[in-house]
Amino acid sequence: MQPPMVRGTILLAHGSRDPLWRKPIEAVAQRMRAVAPAVQVRCAYLELSAPSLPDSATELAALGVTSITVVPVFFGLGKHTRDDLPLLMAALQASHPQLAFDLKPAIGEDAQVIELIARIALS
C-alpha cells in the first residue's frame, strides 16, 4: 500500500526589501492554513526576500510532502513569470525528482481574481 499524498502549496511572490510588503502574501498563507490545515503552505520570493522557491520546496520535501503546487502571486505575465519561472521549475524538478510539481498561472490572470478586484474597485 502506497502512503497517502501529502500536499504542499508555495505562494511565490516577487519580494521586496521592505518587510511590510510581505504581509498580504503571508495573510493569504495564514488563511489557507485555516481553511485547509492538511495542506502545508509556504511563501517564497524570487528576489530581495527569503525564503527562495528552492528553499521552500526543500523545506516541504523534508516534511514529507509529495506534491507541491506553486502559485505565482503576480498580477500579470512579466519577465519573471514568462522567462525565469519555467527555468526555476525545471531546476526544482531536477533537484526533487520524487516530488510532483504543479505550476499554476499567475494569480492576477484568474477570472475570479479579476472579478473580485473589479467589484472591490467599484464598491
* Domain spans, the chain: 7-122
Residue 1, pLDDT score: 54
DSSP character at residue 122: H
Using DSSP, state whether 42 is helix, strand or coil: strand
Q: How confident is the model at residue 67 (pLDDT cuts 50, 70, 90)?
A: very high
Range scoring the smallest mean pLDDT among 14-18, 32-36, 65-69: 14-18
Averaged pLDDT, 61-70 = 96
The Cα–Cα gap between 59 and 70 comes to 14
CATH no., domain 7-122:
3.40.50.1400
pTM of the model: 0.92
Averaged pLDDT, 31-51 = 95
Range scoring the smallest mean pLDDT among 14-28, 76-90, 93-107: 76-90
Nearest Cα residue to 71 out of 83, 87, 89: 89
